[in-house]
């Protein structure tokens, strides 16, 4: 059944590019097919079934094949509707309690996107547009692995998602363009059913682009208990989710907060007036990005602002058109904790399991936040630096090959996004990734 779904998606995808018009409505069908291989070369990550075995992932090979179909309709060049469906077949990591560590085969069909967008005014020179639904958004086209902090990070805990998959947003986006190169973007989105409000300013010129953003992250909770765990005191240990103030009153961590993001890109081909025919369009660019994941300090896990500021930089190296992209990226993030997108508003307390200690989880639960750093070991001290090298070459108009070698925030891919737990814990732990994509 699942293989049949994949075949059906592929067959429809091969009819890509067929467009018909009826009156003022234009229909279009497109698709893509992708296959990739990932090998974990070195990782000290462990599983619950083997807390002392930090070598089991070394050399592990993962494979994924996916196909996507996109159906779109445009009415009078102003109103567009798009619907994308994808199927993913993967040979991935075993279950956490699988002693044999056998690769797990899975197949998933999922919604890739579904949205409506409307251009205000003259469609040939629209100054504003509105998008509503489930859609991807990318303000960081130069970054291939690291960065994109606005929608690929969390607050309490301050996790970071890396990789080449654009984040999916649920909600609406209003975009207005002023003076040709100034862009204002307002997002109202619903991560985890809560409400987030985001403003993104963009200045895009020929030789540079500047981005500045402010996000009120999950400031309006839909389910109160998801954001404020005080409602769940009867079900979860209060020692894990808060701290005591000077009067001894229990104050609860919340998953809501405020986020600041800034990004700068410089195109040295344009700045130096070089002959662009000798270089690919993406070569000779320098880009950097920084974020503050929570502007307010809290005792315990969130008392140091320096531990909530990821910073990355990247450069695309010229190859005289031998490659479309050859980029190197590096990141510094000074958090000593194991941050992942989980339900709890604090980092995981099992971070040092990978050292083969015999500490049980109960030994790592701290009654007071004054000693949350007491068990920070080599992982917490040594995982601040992340790096990535990325290369891509396109053949013709529809086929591309990409190669990535990286020590980033690697997580296993799952249904168009990533699993929660990060599996690389230092700059000497890395993997390689090879991708083949055909766009139809």
45-95 per-position pLDDT tens digit: 887 777 778 888 899 999 999 999 999 999 988 999 999 999 999 998 887
Query: DSSP letter string over 168-220?
Result: EEEEEEEEEEETTTEEEEEEEE-GGGSEEEEEEEEEE-SSEEEEEEEEEEEEE
Does residue 9 contact residue 398 with C-beta atoms inside 8 Å? no
Query: DSSP letter string over 114-172?
Result: EEEEEEES-TTS-SEEEEEEEEE--S-TT-SSS--TTTSB-SSS--B--SSPPPEEEEE
Does residue 332 contact residue 289 with C-beta atoms inside 8 Å? no
pLDDT tens by residue, the chain, 440 residues? 343 333 333 333 333 334 444 458 899 999 999 999 999 999 988 877 777 788 888 999 999 999 999 999 999 889 999 999 999 999 988 877 776 667 788 899 999 999 999 999 888 888 999 999 999 999 999 999 999 999 999 998 899 999 988 999 999 999 999 888 899 999 999 987 789 999 999 999 989 999 999 999 988 876 554 555 444 443 444 445 677 677 777 777 888 899 999 999 999 988 988 877 888 888 899 999 999 999 999 888 888 999 999 999 999 999 988 999 999 999 999 998 888 887 778 787 555 543 434 333 333 444 445 567 766 767 777 889 999 999 999 998 899 999 999 999 999 988 888 888 899 989 999 999 999 999 98
- pLDDT at residue 15, as a whole number: 36
The 3-state DSSP class for residue 5 equals helix
Helix, strand, coil content of the chain in percent (nearest 5): 10, 45, 40
Q: How many CB atoms lie within 10 A of CB 382?
A: 15
- pLDDT at residue 233, as a whole number: 43
Burial class (CB in 10 A: 0-12, 13-18, 19+), 119: buried
Task: Record the tokens describing residue 99, joined without a space.
Answer: 């002693």
Q: What is the pLDDT of residues 224-246, one digit of tens each?
A: 545 554 444 434 444 456 776 77
Does residue 253 contact residue 298 with C-beta atoms inside 8 Å? yes
CA 413 – CA 317 distance, rounded (Å): 28
CA 84 – CA 81 distance, rounded (Å): 10
- pLDDT at residue 79, as a whole number: 94
Among the listed residues 66, 95, 61, the one whose alpha carbon sits nearest the alpha carbon of residue 2 = 66
Beta pairing class for 285-293 and 385-395: unpaired
Task: Record the tokens describing residue 212, joined without a space.
Answer: 């500045």
Residue 247 C-beta-side C-alpha neighbours within 13 Å: 3
The 3-state DSSP class for residue 358 equals coil
Does residue 403 contact residue 432 with C-beta atoms inside 8 Å? yes
Does residue 63 contact residue 436 with C-beta atoms inside 8 Å? no
What is this structure's pTM?
A: 0.86
Beta pairing class for 285-293 and 311-316: antiparallel
């Amino acid at each position: 059944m699942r293989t049949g779904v994949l075949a059906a998606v592929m067959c429809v995808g091969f009819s890509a590019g067929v467009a018909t018009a009826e009156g003022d409505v234009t229909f279009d069908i497109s698709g893509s097919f992708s296959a990739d291989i990932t090998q974990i070369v070195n990782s000290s990550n462990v599983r619950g079934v083997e807390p002392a075995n930090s070598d089991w992932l070394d050399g592990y090979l993962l494979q994924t094949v996916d196909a996507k179909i996109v159906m779109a309709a445009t009415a009078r060049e102003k109103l567009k509707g798009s619907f994308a469906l994808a199927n993913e077949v993967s040979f991935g990591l075993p279950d956490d309690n699988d002693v044999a560590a056998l690769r797990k085969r899975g197949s998933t069909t999922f919604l890739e996107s579904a949205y409506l967008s409307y251009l205000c005014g003259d469609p040939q020179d629209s100054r504003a547009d509105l998008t509503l639904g489930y859609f991807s958004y990318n303000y960081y086209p130069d970054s291939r692995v690291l960065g994109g902090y606005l929608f690929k990070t969390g607050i309490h805990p301050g996790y970071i998602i890396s990789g080449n998959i654009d984040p999916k947003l649920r909600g609406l986006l209003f975009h207005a363009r002023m003076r040709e190169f100034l862009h204002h973007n307002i997002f109202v989105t619903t991560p985890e059913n809560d409400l987030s409000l985001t403003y993104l300013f963009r200045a895009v010129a020929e030789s540079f682009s500047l981005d500045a953003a402010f996000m009120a992250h999950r400031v309006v909770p839909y389910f109160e208990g998801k954001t404020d765990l005080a409602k769940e005191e009867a079900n979860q240990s209060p020692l894990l989710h808060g701290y005591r103030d000077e009067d001894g009153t229990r104050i609860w961590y919340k998953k809501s907060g405020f986020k600041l993001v800034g990004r700068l890109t410089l195109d040295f081909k344009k700045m130096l007036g070089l002959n662009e025919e000798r270089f690919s369009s993406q070569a000779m660019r320098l880009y950097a990005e920084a974020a503050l994941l929570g502007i307010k300090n809290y005792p315990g896990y969130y008392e140091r602002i320096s531990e909530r500021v990821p910073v990355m930089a990247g450069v695309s190296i010229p190859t005289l058109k031998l490659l479309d992209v050859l980029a190197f990226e590096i990141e510094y993030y000074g958090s000593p904790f194991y941050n992942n997108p989980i339900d709890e508003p604090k980092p995981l307390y099992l971070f040092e399991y990978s050292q083969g200690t015999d500490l049980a989880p109960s030994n790592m639960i701290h009654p007071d936040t004054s000693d949350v750093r007491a068990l920070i070991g080599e992982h917490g001290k040594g995982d601040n630096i992340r790096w990535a090298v990325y290369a891509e070459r396109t053949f013709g108009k529809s086929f591309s090959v990409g190669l990535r070698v990286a020590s980033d925030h690697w997580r296993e891919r799952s249904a168009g996004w990533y699993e929660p737990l990060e599996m690389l814990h230092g700059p000497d732990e890395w993997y390689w990734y090879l991708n083949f994509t055909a766009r139809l």
